[in-house]
Structure 1
Amino acid sequence: MNIGDKVRLLHGNEEGTITKISNGGRIEIEIEDGFRIPAMKNEVVVIHETEKQYFGNKSSKVQEKESSLPEVKSTKTTDGLYLSYVPINDKTLSLHLINNTEKDYVFMASDIFGDNSKTLSSGTISALSAKKLDEKSIPQFENWPPLFLQFIPINHRAEKTMAPFEKKVKFKASSFFKNQHMAPVLGKKGYLFAIDQQTRALDINKLNQELNEGKGEEPVSQQFKRPEKQIDLHIEKLTKEHEFMSNTEMLKLQMETFEKNLNYAIATGMDEITFIHGLGNGILRKEIHKYLSQLENIKYFQDTQKSRFGYGATLVRIN
């Protein structure tokens, strides 16, 4: 086998071109739309031109029949914007944004992690075209972050102005895996979802306010809310999205939670409050103690309740 050879997986329907050969019998195959998948040499077979000449269209028919997705009835898909999750293999889906309209759009697609976001793709998507946004792991389905989409219609000539719009998507397994259809433009079977343009119009000022939520001053009605006497700062207690956060992002969230609850404790006249930060590598404890040492209205702070928390908690006495 050489780079550039056409190959087919023995235990799958994928065909592609070898783009990399590594030691130990590992290779990399580029399949349709530029996707690359790893494999072992003994898991693939080289496709010779004589095979296609002999089988003709029969080969493609067999592959279609063996597709991991069940057959779906051929129905005409209406014009619109769509998300399509196309299987690459039995564990990975390729996420595409599809523009099945006669209008171009400026778009941005982002994964949302609480107050944080990660832009997957942005730019212009032309009429009757598709763009790959990301790849998703099926075993990690329950941990997929919400997907936030923003669209601005483009008018290339004087015509009726369409308002920008946005949509936030979070799937449930019960409905996601039942929604199998042929994706327009792509012409591939996958999990297909229409993006309803009748969602709320994109308000730039409100969007900026939402993205900065929690960074500015708390609403007056919540400024003096008395916190619990013990605040657990373990990251899994603060967010379900921690697996997708960097160490810096996790520390930032933990410190914001610590500062907010300490301020509430001081404002509501509490005498003391305990922050459970765990042992770990000691970075969070160090940052908390550094912050406390700079405050004048703190009587003292100390490691506390070894029998219950070990040295993974800090007691703060307030003046």
Structure 2
Amino acid sequence: MNIGDKVRLLHGKEEGVITRLSSGGQVEIEIEDGFRIPALKSEVVVIDAAEKEYFNRGEEGEKESYIQPVRKTDPSSKTAGIFLAYVPYNDQIHDLILINHTKKQYLFSVEELSGNQAKNIDAGVIQPQSFRKITEKMLQDFEQWPAMKFMLLPLNKKFEPQEQATERKVKFKANNFFKHKGKAPVIDKEGFLFQLNDHEKALNVKKLNEELNPAGKESYPHLQVKRPPASIDLHIEKLSSEHDLMSNSEMLQLQMEVFQRNLNDALASGMDEITFIHGIGNGVLRKEIHRFLSQLNGIKYFKDSQKTNFGYGATTVKIHE
């Protein structure tokens, strides 16, 4: 008998999943309506292999911790994706649940991070339209919750277009976390909900091209490029509302994409100069911008802007005299 086993009480009608094993021969069972009840091991029985197969446990009864069966929801809807949900068990304890609201299986790994070290807390395969409890968190310890890293890899059962693996680093801030309250798909419960595989929406290249070349107009980009503002703020919170779910590399990639797009528009629209506000921080973004500019032939020069003008780090690019 292990955590994640589907069990039934011998002297009752309740069925549920073992969520905790205690000393003294006791177990804790979470029944279908979300309540948890204690029971003696001698009073419960593991559901047989046929029932395990029905509940997507596999023919060998592999130990997939707290994976639930398919729920009748639409994985093709606009809410489809891989979600992280913090669902309250009581006033203090929240269950941390990974939700697969798609048509595909995903191989996943979850790690807790501490500085440059990492500890794996769960890994496995999550089925389409199912969910998996990862761990529990105490709300009163919110400020001490460690950062986590999620690796998600879609599994193709036939030849079909490849999808890239997703790597997301999650470190919540209170002023953002508590704004994400809503009903989680598949489990249909209220909680704090975050989508893990939506970062590609931060910069929609196809949409940008459509804006530059609207349908029904001839494609002359040099006539239709929109002149950017004289200064562009590259602080990540200005570029994405989901920045707290992005890894450092994802944030830097988005900032550089916005920088390059606006620099190209400035060049194409004949601007004399443009300033990019990158802040001081650890200097990584400034270094990448300067490295890119140093290899570009279409500008006169670039320089650090006076702090008196912006109050924080910025780079001005001189295009024409």
Aligning the two structures, in what range does the TM-score lie when normalised by the shorter sequence?
Answer: 0.3 to 0.5
TM-score normalized by the length of structure 2:
0.44
TM-score (norm 1): 0.45
Bigger radius of gyration: 1
